Amino acid sequence: MIGRLRGSLTWRMGLALALMAVLATALSAAATRWVGSAALGLALALAAGLPVLLWLAVRSARPWRQTIAAVSGGIESLRDHDFSVSIASPRPQELRELVEAYNSLGALLRRERFDIYQRELLLDTVLQTTPLALLLTNDSGRVVYGNIAARQLLNGGRRIEGAELAALLAERPAALREALEAEGDTLFTMEVSGEREVFHLSRRSFLLHAQPHQLILLKQLTRELSAQEVAVWKKVIRVIAHELNNSLAPISSLVHSGKLLSGTGDPAAGTQLERIFATIGERAAHLATFIDGYARFAKLPKPRPVPVAWPAFLERLAAAVPFRIEGPVPRHEASFDVGQLEQVMINLLKNAAESGSPPEAVTVSVRARPQGFVLEVADRGSGFGEQALRDALLPFFSTKPTGTGLGLTLCREIIEAHGGRLGLANRPGGGAVVSIHLP
- Rounded to an integer, the average pLDDT of 377-404 is 69
Mean pLDDT of 117-121: 84
pLDDT for position 189: 81
What is the band of 5 on the pLDDT scale with cuts at 50, 70, 90?
A: very low
Please say whether the beta carbons of 335 and 341 come within 8 A. Answer: no
Residue 214 has pLDDT above 60, yes or no: yes
Burial (CB count within 10 angstroms: exposed 0-12, middle 13-18, buried 19+), residue 270: exposed
Closest CA relative to residue 133, chosen from 220, 212, 208? 220
CA 281 vs. chain centroid, Å, equals: 55
pLDDT at 400 over 50: yes
Alpha carbons 32 and 37: distance in angstroms, whole number: 5
Judge whether residue 402 has pLDDT over 60.
Answer: no
pLDDT tops 60 at residue 385: yes
Mean pLDDT taken over the chain: 77
**Confidence band for 119, pLDDT divided at 50, 70 and 90:** confident
Q: Does the pLDDT value for residue 290 go beyond 50? A: yes
Amino acid identity at 195: E
What pLDDT was estimated at residue 3? Answer: 45
Contact indicator for 372, 357 with CB cutoff of 8 Å? no
Least confident of 45-59, 308-322, 376-390: 45-59
Q: Where are the beta strands (DSSP E) in 224-381?
A: 306-308, 324-325, 334-336, 363-369, 372-378
CA atoms of 288 and 229, how far apart (whole Å): 25
Average pLDDT score over residue span 209-225 = 82
Q: How confident is the model at residue 246 (pLDDT cuts 50, 70, 90)?
A: low
The pLDDT of 283-290, averaged and rounded, is 68
Phi-psi region of 139 (alpha: psi -120 to 50; beta: other; left: phi over 0): alpha
Which tops the pLDDT comparison, 275 or 209?
Answer: 209
Classify residue 217 by burial, with Cβ atoms within 10 Å: 0-12, 13-18, 19+.
middle
Query: Which residues touch 10 (CB under 8 Å, ≥6 apart)?
Result: 94
Alpha-carbon gap, residue 189 to 182, rounded angstroms = 15
- Cα(98)–Cα(121) distance, rounded to whole angstroms? 35
What integer pLDDT is reported at residue 81 of this predicted model?
Answer: 78
Q: In whole angstroms, what is the distance from residue 369 CA to residue 181 CA? A: 13
pLDDT at 428 over 70: yes
Q: Which whole number is the average pLDDT over 94-105?
A: 80
Greater confidence, 91 or 154? Answer: 154
| Alpha-carbon gap, residue 199 to 149, rounded angstroms | 13
Q: Which domains does the chain have, with CATH numbers?
A: 2-90 (no CATH), 130-220 (3.30.450.20), 225-298 (1.10.287), 306-438 (3.30.565.10)
Give yes or no for a contact between 377 and 348, defined as CB atoms under 8 angstroms apart. yes
- Which pLDDT score, from 0 to 100, does residue 28 have? 64
The yes-or-no verdict on residue 29 having pLDDT over 80 is no
Question: Would you say residue 284 has pLDDT above 60?
Answer: yes
Rounded-to-integer distance, Cα 272 and Cα 166, Å:
76
Q: What local confidence, expressed as pLDDT, does residue 299 receive?
A: 63
Lowest mean pLDDT among 357-371, 384-398, 408-422: 384-398
pLDDT tens-digit series, residues 403-419? 555 677 778 888 888 88
Q: How confident is the model over 306-317, as a mean pLDDT?
A: 90
Structure confidence at residue 2 (pLDDT): 42
